[in-house]
Amino acid sequence: MTPIKECLINKNTNITPIWLMRQAGRYLPEFREIRKVNTNFIDLCLNPILSEKITLQPIKRFDFDAAIIFSDILMIPFGLGQNVEFKKSFGPNLGKIDLDSLFITDEQKFTKKLSPIYELLKNLSRNEKLKNKDLIGFVGAPWTLLVYMINQVSPKNGLSSNFFTDKKLIINLLKILDKFIKIHIKNQVNSGATIIQIFDSWAGLIKSDLEQYLYRPTLSLVEYTKSLGVPVICFPRGISDYNKFCQIIRPSMINIDYNVNPKTLIDKFDIPIQGGLDPKVLLTDKENLKNEVTKYLELFKDHPYVFNLGHGILPETQIESVEELVKIVRNFK
């Protein structure tokens, strides 16, 4: 059994597996070399040969306990026919939604459009470098995908003032997303993903109607993923009550963000915990890095825990800092 499955299934506290969100990405010089000559991000995600190389880059460097596929949560809107572009120093830029077109998109067309992602997973599942390691597939949660699809840009670049006004659009879009996120999960599992992580990066924007926008849509995906026989990790970044979320959703594991005080969770959770460290800690000196990492390791030493960050690794992170991080986690007794 893989180290992460030992935590997830056997609740083993004698090991602390490690992987990092966005571990295959811009902080790696070998990734930047590929990106220089592959400027279209969507095309890169749909290139199974290059995306396999990118997925394996952090495994070769750091021997993490899991590979997470090089892809993006916005491949689902792309698969549904919405225009998706990534602009340098700006981020994603999406076209207008055509709800009628979304409603008539069928499973076969959607699957064909995203088939290079499933080819990537099949290739990785046969790769000897991932022996005794998990292969993590992922999706965006309905709420976060809805935010991007309606707002058309990241909320970092501003949120439309009338975002919440079209309730009919939101409700219809949630229904469509539930269907196609499940298709994407199923296709990933059938292609070799051993764990699915659900990223709800903008869950913190929800101030009311949590049942409609957060709990019910996420629970639907979690129950579906579990029915496929695969563990599911949830990352509802920015929510105020992780405890209530876990009581309602019951994910296989919860990934906490860096704004959460982990001491408030340790006695409340009976499920494995992942993550928590502020990615900015990796930008500091070795002594501070060791102190901050050790806090998490000490706190969770008697609780099934997978070391990870409270958000994605930052592009300016130095390779030496990640090497030091891995050493601290591996040597912790």
How far is the C-alpha of 137 from the C-alpha of 207, rounded, in Å? 29
How far is the C-alpha of 254 from the C-alpha of 184, rounded, in Å? 21
User: What integer pLDDT is reported at residue 318 of this predicted model?
Assistant: 98
Residues in the chain with pLDDT values less than 70: none
User: What integer pLDDT is reported at residue 202 of this predicted model?
Assistant: 95
- Rounded to 10 degrees, the C-alpha dihedral 235/239/241/242 comes to 10
Domain extent listing, the chain: 3-237
Report the SS3 class of residue 52: helix
User: What integer pLDDT is reported at residue 160 of this predicted model?
Assistant: 78
Report the SS3 class of residue 131: coil
Of the candidates 197, 311, 209, the one whose C-alpha atom is nearest the C-alpha of residue 254 is 197
- Taking the chain, what is the end-to-end CA distance rounded to the nearest angstrom? 21
User: What integer pLDDT is reported at residue 90 of this predicted model?
Assistant: 84
Of the candidates 219, 216, 224, the one whose C-alpha atom is nearest the C-alpha of residue 234 is 219
DSSP string, 259-307: TS-GGGTTTT--S-EEE-B-GGGGGS-HHHHHHHHHHHHHHTTTS-EEB
C-alpha R_g of the chain: 19
Alpha carbon of residue 114 to chain centroid: 18
What topology is assigned to 3-237 in CATH? TIM Barrel (3.20.20)
Which letter, b or e, does each residue of 41-78 get, where b requires 16 or more Cβ atoms within 10 Å of its Cβ? bbebbbbbebbbbbbbbbbeebebbbbbbbbbbbbbbb
Geometric angle at alpha carbon 39, from 33 and 40, rounded to 5°: 135
User: What integer pLDDT is reported at residue 113 of this predicted model?
Assistant: 97
User: What integer pLDDT is reported at residue 151 of this predicted model?
Assistant: 92
Neighbours of 274 (CB within 10 A): 28
pTM higher than the cut 0.75: yes
User: What integer pLDDT is reported at residue 182 of this predicted model?
Assistant: 98
Q: Convert the pLDDT of each residue in 124-181 to its tens digit.
A: 999 999 999 999 999 999 999 999 999 999 998 888 777 777 888 899 999 999 999 9
